[in-house]
């Protein structure tokens, strides 16, 4: 709750030192000096371009490793800095804030007023209450797409300075063709149940599911519960009701731990239904809960670690993540993509870059894929969303197994203009 992009812009000269001369930044290369203009922007000096991020690292009831997003940014910056940085300047993650779940707006304000950063990344938070501050400040901002604030609620374009790994995925509540409305056709399922927590992004996932099945009636939604307490492990009453209603596919609009608890209760009560878990791409989770999660489906908006052949983006991510001692997981991968997106826009903006030039240059990119980590994003339209692509995986004996993929094309894609759900959707690299 889940596009190969071309790297744009000028070539960066690999070198060891930078010096400021007469309003220029000089970088030696192949015996000749390369000079870059001085840039008068927040967080930019003759030697550095500083960015800062905010994550929910503490008090997260889901137990997610959102602070791993910093590992991904750190790894990507290390890979760029090893080649001399960008425009003679090193990339620096100078501010790493933790919003503690309840303090996102305050921490975002601190990034803007106290931390002297050029751009904001990564943003990996459970509650994105500071989104409007970043949108109003027009600061280039990059993060994980789990919050409705990133996108186009009520069919309005999302903020032009906001960039997630997949474009504008939202609105959560809107009817859309998706994995959930396509899988029933593949698995011959007819009666759907869905459960959600009584918090906005979870509850709106269930609402969106209801609306999607109304528009694309591949199955019938016969059970909905959006009243669950966040973090509650007790699903006994809901499972009993779904069993009485002959539910044969359950979509869990909850976190991974919640999905595992739900699967355990389904097995206990003998509810023989396929579980779809949108927010559960976690190798440790499925290994630990292999017995109850066997046969469940999940999906991602990026190429999973199991994808073969491995893309250049994935190979570089793994190489540099290991070099900096980071954790390989969903959030570090998204952090890497966010950093790649930032650098791609920075290079496209040119050596006289400003915040606004980086935003404008990124929004002119038509084929962004982070080296094969995401299906190609057209940022000229992505704030209003034209297509959604997902990599689908099935849990088999405690491991994720890619499904419905073609060689070199891990994604199945659903244009928002679809009138009906196709039996065989478009695939994408």
Confidence of residue 3 (pLDDT cuts 50, 70, 90): very low
* pLDDT for the residue numbered 166: 86
Query: Mean of the per-residue pLDDT values for the chain?
Result: 89
* pLDDT for the residue numbered 410: 93
pLDDT digits (tens, 9 = 90+) for 56-80: 999 988 778 899 999 999 999 999 9
* pLDDT for the residue numbered 200: 79
pLDDT digits (tens, 9 = 90+) for 208-243: 999 999 999 999 999 999 999 876 679 999 999 999
CA distance 294 to 368: 34
- The helix-helix angle for 68-81 and 312-324 (nearest 10°) equals 100
Residue percentage of the chain with pLDDT more than 90: 74
Confidence of residue 100 (pLDDT cuts 50, 70, 90): very high
- Give me the half-sphere count of Cα atoms (radius 13 Å) on the Cβ side of residue 389: 28
Residue percentage of the chain with pLDDT more than 70: 90
Pinpoint the residues of the chain covered by CATH 3.40.50.2300.
19-169+308-385, 179-300+388-428
Q: Which token pair is 232?
A: 């509650």
pLDDT of 6 higher than 50: no
> Which CATH number, 3.40.33.10, 3.40.50.2300, 3.40.50.80, 3.40.30.10, labels domain 179-300+388-428?
3.40.50.2300
* pLDDT mean over 190-210: 91
Confidence of residue 26 (pLDDT cuts 50, 70, 90): very low
Smallest Cα–Cα separation from 149: which of 162, 136, 167, 166?
A: 162
Confidence of residue 29 (pLDDT cuts 50, 70, 90): very low
Please, are residues 338 and 122 in contact by the beta-carbon 8 Å criterion? yes
User: Is the pLDDT higher at 176 or at 46?
Assistant: 46
pLDDT digits (tens, 9 = 90+) for 291-308: 999 999 999 999 999 999
Q: Which architecture, in CATH terms, is 19-169+308-385? A: 3-Layer(aba) Sandwich (3.40)
How many C-beta atoms lie closer than 10 Å to residue 16's C-beta? 7
pLDDT of 196 higher than 60: yes
* pLDDT for the residue numbered 1: 38
């Amino acid at each position: 709750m889940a596009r190969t992009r071309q790297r744009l812009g000028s070539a960066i000269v690999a070198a060891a030192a930078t010096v400021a001369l007469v309003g220029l930044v000089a970088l030696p290369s192949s015996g000749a000096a390369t000079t870059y203009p001085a840039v008068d922007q927040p967080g930019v000096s003759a030697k550095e371009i500083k960015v800062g991020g905010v994550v929910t690292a503490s008090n997260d009831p889901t137990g997610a490793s959102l602070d791993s997003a910093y590992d991904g940014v750190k790894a990507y910056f290390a890979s760029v800095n090893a080649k001399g940085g960008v425009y003679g300047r090193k990339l620096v993650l100078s501010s790493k804030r933790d919003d503690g779940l309840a303090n996102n707006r305050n921490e975002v304000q601190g990034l803007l007023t106290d931390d002297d950063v050029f751009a904001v990344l990564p943003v990996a938070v459970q509650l994105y209450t500071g989104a409007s501050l970043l949108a109003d400040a027009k600061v280039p901002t990059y993060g994980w797409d789990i919050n409705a604030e990133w996108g186009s609620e009520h069919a309005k374009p999302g903020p032009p300075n906001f960039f997630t790994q997949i474009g504008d995925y939202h609105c959560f509540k809107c009817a859309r063709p998706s994995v959930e409305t396509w899988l029933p056709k593949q698995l011959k399922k007819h009666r759907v149940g869905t459960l959600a927590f009584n918090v906005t992004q979870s509850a709106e996932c269930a609402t969106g599911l209801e609306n999607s099945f109304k528009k694309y009636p591949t199955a019938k939604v016969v059970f909905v519960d959006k009243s669950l307490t966040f973090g509650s492990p007790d699903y006994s009453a809901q499972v009993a009701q779904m069993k009485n209603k002959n539910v044969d596919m359950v979509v869990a609009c909850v976190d991974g731990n919640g999905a595992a608890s739900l699967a355990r209760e389904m097995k206990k009560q003998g509810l023989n239904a396929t579980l779809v878990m949108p927010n559960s791409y976690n190798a440790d989770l499925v290994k630990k809960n292999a017995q109850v999660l066997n046969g469940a489906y999940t999906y991602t908006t990026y190429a999973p670690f199991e994808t073969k052949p491995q893309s250049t983006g994935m190979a570089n991510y793994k190489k540099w993540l290991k070099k900096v001692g980071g954790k390989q997981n969903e959030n570090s991968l998204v952090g890497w993509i966010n950093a790649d997106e930032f650098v791609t826009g920075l290079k496209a903006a040119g050596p006289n870059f400003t915040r606004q030039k980086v935003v404008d240059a990124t929004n002119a990119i038509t084929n962004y894929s982070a080296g094969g980590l995401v299906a190609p994003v057209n940022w000229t339209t992505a704030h209003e969303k034209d297509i959604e692509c997902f990599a689908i995986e099935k849990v088999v004996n405690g491991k994720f197994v890619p499904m419905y993929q073609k060689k070199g094309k891990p994604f199945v894609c659903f244009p928002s203009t679809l009138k009906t759900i196709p039996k065989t959707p478009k695939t994408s690299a």
